[in-house]
Amino acid sequence: METQTPERKKIIFSAIQPSGSITLGNYLGALKNWVALQDEYQCIYALADLHAITVRQDPAQFRRHALEAYALFLACGIDVEKSLFFIQSQVHTHAELAWVLNCYTQFGELSRMTQFKDKSAKHPENVNAGLFTYPSLMAADILLYQSDLVPVGADQKQHLELARNIAERFNGLYSPTFRVPEGYIPKVGARIMSLQDPTRKMSKSDENANAWIAMLDKPDDIVRKCKRAVTDSEACVRYAEGKAGVNNLMGIYSAVTGKDYEEIEREFEGKGYGEFKLAVAEAVVEELRPIQERYAKYIADKAYLEECYSAAAQKALALSSRTLNKVMKKVGFLGRG
Ligand code: TYM
């Protein structure tokens, strides 16, 4: 009988910074997709804690946040039997490749990154070199695993494009070394906006806590934040230009319930924003309730968490070392024996 080689499963890589609370934006823009992709692809996910120190972190809090984020991602449905889910700082190949790639990334390219411009404007007292070269580290994360697809929210598109350019440049200079990855940006949820200023993205670094929903927010807080969400004076639930606040709430509702915009418009025809906001809040609360319940169990079991992330780090090191070794050889470093 003829034996067929099974088709290679495509490789997915993505990461999230564990600084502070994980938001509903992170969840709808990235995490929810991460979970959904696990059966079809070989998924590799990381907590990008090396990225997080581009902004000052309190050491005790930083450690706690990493552990909480790890537990939360498991609670969201990241399955360590199916996917590799590790902590970036525990896999030294990331920092090593990042250095090499820094030398193949142009100052001009990094200067154009809008996130760098935004963050340096926000923290003028600490515009460090890490903040500037951060996209090379992100490129290293992705390229180490020969990733095909990178599921991210819309705000990471520019960084991803740079990662592709770096990969192509390196491949062109030497010989094919890195697979050039594609972005995987969801149709709804890719850009969840601030509830207080819907022209800006929802971000955990927003000083106004009413602007964002954290994954571990209590139901009452979620209801309050949704009720206070900025809308407009038209009092009509429809998706249209000039209605950024309502569009954003519709985006959240759609990403959570799976209903499209037309269905949502029909559902709320003739109804006011009060009712709509409450429905959005309830849908979010129901989506988060089982996650929060599972989170409470995971975070209470530190030994299990350590077992998971330690095993994952070992596997990630073995996988990523293959690419790093190739890179070192091609650049001309002496072998490590
Ligand atoms: P981070 O930690 O800022 O965000 C993690 C993921 O959440 C998405 N996201 C959003 N999606 C929709 N609406 C929002 N308001 C929103 N805010 C955040 C982001 O697009 C992202 O997908 N540099 C990355 C982390 C990273 C990474 C990587 C990602 C490090 N290495 C390699 C992909 C591949 C970051 O800071 O994401």
Q: Express each pLDDT in 100-135 by its tens digit.
A: 999 999 999 999 999 999 989 988 999 999 999 999
Domain contains 191: no
16 lines ligand 1 (CB under 6 A): yes
Range of the domain at 115: 11-185+302-331
The helix/strand/coil state of 182 is strand
Domain contains 142: yes
Q: Which residue lies with its CA nearest to atom 23 of ligand 1?
A: 138
Phi, psi of 217 (to 5 degrees): -60, 145
* Claim to verify: residue 20 and residue 133 sit in the same structural domain: yes
Is pLDDT above 60 for 1?
A: no
* Claim to verify: residue 228 and residue 321 sit in the same structural domain: no
Domain count, the chain: 2
49 lines ligand 1 (CB under 6 A): no
221 lines ligand 1 (CB under 6 A): no
CATH of the domain at 137: 3.40.50.620
**CA 225/CA 191 separation, integer angstroms:** 18
* Claim to verify: residue 42 and residue 179 sit in the same structural domain: yes
**CA 3/CA 182 separation, integer angstroms:** 31
* Claim to verify: residue 45 and residue 139 sit in the same structural domain: yes
Is pLDDT above 80 for 52?
A: yes
What do you get for the CA distance between the two ends of the chain, in Å? 43
DSSP conformation letters of 90-123? G-THHHHHHHHHHTTS-HHHHHT-HHHHHHHHH-
201 lines ligand 1 (CB under 6 A): yes
* Claim to verify: residue 27 and residue 120 sit in the same structural domain: yes
* Claim to verify: residue 80 and residue 159 sit in the same structural domain: yes
Is pLDDT above 60 for 3?
A: no
Atom number, ligand 1, closest to the C-alpha of residue 13: 34
The pLDDT tens digits of the residues spanning 273-314 come to 999 999 999 999 999 999 999 999 999 999 999 999 999 999
Q: Alpha carbon of 13 to those of 94, 142, 151, 167, 310: distances in Å?
A: 13, 6, 7, 15, 18
* Claim to verify: residue 271 and residue 321 sit in the same structural domain: no
Domain contains 53: yes
**High-pLDDT (> 70) share of the chain, %:** 98
Domain contains 34: yes
156 lines ligand 1 (CB under 6 A): yes
Using alpha carbons only, what angle is made at residue 304 by residues 299 and 308, rounded to the nearest 5 degrees? 110
Mean of the per-residue pLDDT values of the chain: 95
Atom number, ligand 1, closest to the C-alpha of residue 189: 12
The pLDDT tens digits of the residues spanning 208-241 come to 999 999 999 999 999 999 999 999 999 999 999 9
pLDDT confidence band for 190 (50 / 70 / 90): confident
Lowest-pLDDT choice from 24-33, 73-82, 91-100, 328-337: 328-337
* Claim to verify: residue 214 and residue 310 sit in the same structural domain: no
Which residue out of 32, 201, 243, 277 is catalytically annotated? 201
* Claim to verify: residue 262 and residue 243 sit in the same structural domain: yes
**CA 19/CA 203 separation, integer angstroms:** 11
For residue 168, the CA-to-ligand 1 centroid distance in Å is: 23
* Claim to verify: residue 293 and residue 306 sit in the same structural domain: no
For position 5, what pLDDT does the model report? 63
Residue 184's contacts (CB-CB under 8 Å, 6 or more residues apart) are 12, 33, 37, 149, 150, 151, 152
Is pLDDT above 90 for 27?
A: yes
CATH of the domain at 272: 1.10.240.10
Domain contains 336: no
Could you give the residue ranges of the DSSP H alpha helices within 238-299?
244-257, 261-267, 273-299
For position 229, what pLDDT does the model report? 97
For position 257, what pLDDT does the model report? 96
| pTM of the predicted structure, to 2 decimals | 0.94
Lateral strand order in the sheet of 11-16: 84-87, 42-47, 11-16, 149-151, 182-184
For position 337, what pLDDT does the model report? 64
**Active-site residue, 227 included:** no
Domain contains 203: no
* Claim to verify: residue 100 and residue 151 sit in the same structural domain: yes
**Active-site residue, 119 included:** yes
For residue 20, the CA-to-ligand 1 centroid distance in Å is: 13
Phi, psi of 61 (to 5 degrees): -65, -40
The pLDDT tens digits of the residues spanning 129-178 come to 999 999 999 999 999 999 999 999 999 999 999 999 999 999 999 999 99
**CA 271/CA 71 separation, integer angstroms:** 39
Domain contains 1: no
**Active-site residue, 201 included:** yes
Burial class (CB in 10 A: 0-12, 13-18, 19+), 191: middle
Domain contains 3: no
CB atoms within 10 A of CB 68: 20
* Claim to verify: residue 147 and residue 282 sit in the same structural domain: no
